[in-house]
Amino acid sequence: MIGLYSKYENLYNRHNSQYGNKQIENIYYSDIARSFKNQTGPQIEAMITELRTKFEREYALIEDARLNYGDILMPTIKYYNEFLFLVPFISTSREEAEDEGKDVSSVATPSSQVLSTSELAPYSIATEKQLATVQIQTSESELQRAGNGGQLHSNLCNRNQQPKCIAILNRPGFINGLPRPRSSQDQRSGSSKNNGHQLEMLCELIRTELSTAPDCIYFDAKWRIIEILREAEKLAGEEHIAVEFAMTDADIKPALEEKPHVPYAPGQNLNPNGARRFYELMNDRRSVRAFKANCKPSIDILEYCIRSAGTSPSGAHTEPWTFCVIEDMKVKQAVREIVEREEHINYSTRMHAQWVTDLRPLQTNAIKPYLTDAPYLILIFKQTYGTTVDGRKKLHYYNEISTSIAAGILLCALQAAGLCSLVTTPLNCGPALRRLLDRPNNEKLLILLAVGYAADDCSVPDLKRKRLQDIMVKY
């Protein structure tokens, strides 16, 4: 695919007379797609764009280390050498961006400074033994602090396994083998972008180095890194919440108003068999992927269900959730295009073969018709921080846990209302969907629900739930 892409110079050479002509580009991508079964032009374009972006970022890091520190980094992504034909055109992109006064931080270094193919070849075993090793820390708290703090912890453990990740460098000025910004001012201005690059490089390193490790270690490390990416990925201009809490103890005020407590009022008891009836109700709930497109429940029903979700407990009563209800077909179509574009990459290249294999019994794929067939989509965002009445930022403690509890209550309410639903966690779609819905920077996508009535010909997997003795332990 990369070889075919290299033949169409107008797709990457800014000096080509046909560069930027979308009609011609679509024709060429469609022509490339003919060489691959069940692939379309847009799918090929999405895959090439992702691979090229990863190459350009890694190339910039490798050149930075070589030119400024005299070190040679070993490429950690696949197809690195295959993309070296882009180097002269990356240089052109940088020069043009500088002439136009644009931000060039994401563009690689000039072609005159490019490494030779022999320099980029994998190191010998003897050389690799001289490299410092990074041990993988699988502690949940350590990884959470790494994500929330915008830093990568170099002290990682490997669960008594042979070290699998190789740190390219281990000396001052580098974090886990990646260049640290050269000044505190640069670090402040570009922290979001640098953190994103570091996390992506670490994820790629784990993808490569742990591919032959036991599945339990591979998937544990991979999914934890994905959680860090979801938490730490920030758009330009987004500040870290910790900056707002640099104040003296005398200035600290509670986010909630301080007032006397009130007497507890017991909740309504529906009937003596309420617990059993509720279990029977929820035991009938199934994930539905086929909806009646022309049968739309009243919006009032959804509003009461979301009101129920809003009663959920939350850390320090911050209520860190936003429920975006989509019923407009154009918006649902845009959501579907974003999700399917990423899912094609997930199923074809991004995710491990075990991930695809584990989904096979559920008969899922990259095509998501339910995103437009379902009368409603509910996108649930967690709020990482909020604002007090006097304009101060307030930290939302345990925002993901709190929002997840609210989502569970919402599912129960939808089931009680006679509606069907499907819970999805669109991988790598959060930033694009947030921009589509124009949500603020403090909101991160957590869950996407499709809601409606099941189609007449709807079928579901024949699954069995765990028994009570398998999920409960009495003491």
Q: What is the CATH number of the domain that holds 352?
A: 3.40.109.10
Domain extent for 38: 1-88
User: What pLDDT is attached to residue 327?
Assistant: 95
**Quick check: is 143 in a domain?**
no
**Quick check: is 67 in a domain?**
yes
262-283: pLDDT as tens digits: 888 887 776 778 889 999 999 9
67-122: pLDDT as tens digits: 777 677 777 887 787 888 888 787 544 445 445 454 444 444 433 344 443 444 44
* End residue of a domain, out of 26, 55, 88: 88
- Pull the structure tokens for residue 21: 């002509």
How far is residue 158 from each of residues 81, 146, 220, measured CA to CA in Å? 30, 17, 11
Q: Which residue from 271, 324, 359, 358 is spatially nearest to 435, judged by alpha carbons?
A: 324
- 336 touches 368 (CB < 8 A): yes
CA-only gyration radius of the chain, Å: 25
d(CA 318, CA 158): 36
d(CA 314, CA 402): 5
For the chain (length 475 residues), average pLDDT per consecutive 10? 84 84 84 86 90 87 78 76 80 49 43 40 38 38 44 38 34 41 44 56 65 61 63 46 47 77 81 87 94 94 97 93 96 92 79 77 84 96 89 87 97 96 89 94 94 94 92 96
**Quick check: is 243 in a domain?**
no
- Pull the structure tokens for residue 307: 């009101």
- 207 touches 125 (CB < 8 A): no
CB neighbours of residue 298 within 10 Å: 9
Domain count, the chain: 2
d(CA 185, CA 5): 39
DSSP 173-187: TEETTEEPPSSHHHH
* End residue of a domain, out of 41, 56, 88: 88
Length of the chain measured in residues? 475
Kindly tell me the number of DSSP H helices and DSSP E strands found in the chain: 17, 10
d(CA 399, CA 59): 36
- Pull the structure tokens for residue 197: 């690059």
**Quick check: is 61 in a domain?**
yes
| Three-state secondary-structure class, residue 449 | strand
**Quick check: is 153 in a domain?**
no
d(CA 166, CA 41): 37
- 87 touches 59 (CB < 8 A): yes
User: What pLDDT is attached to residue 415?
Assistant: 96
**Quick check: is 132 in a domain?**
no
d(CA 423, CA 408): 10
d(CA 418, CA 424): 20
**Are β-strands 385-387 and 174-175 bridged in parallel, bridged antiparallel, or unpaired?**
unpaired
User: What pLDDT is attached to residue 312?
Assistant: 96
User: What pLDDT is attached to residue 444?
Assistant: 94
User: What pLDDT is attached to residue 198?
Assistant: 59
d(CA 81, CA 77): 10
**Quick check: is 406 in a domain?**
yes
- 63 touches 115 (CB < 8 A): yes
d(CA 231, CA 431): 11
Those residues with Cβ within 8 angstroms of residue 164's Cβ, 6 or more apart along the chain or in another chain: 136, 158, 209, 210, 213, 217
d(CA 199, CA 61): 13
User: What pLDDT is attached to residue 341?
Assistant: 86
Helix segments in 297-398, DSSP class H: 299-309, 329-345, 353-359, 370-373
d(CA 76, CA 338): 27
- Pull the structure tokens for residue 322: 């936003």
* End residue of a domain, out of 39, 61, 88: 88
**Quick check: is 17 in a domain?**
yes
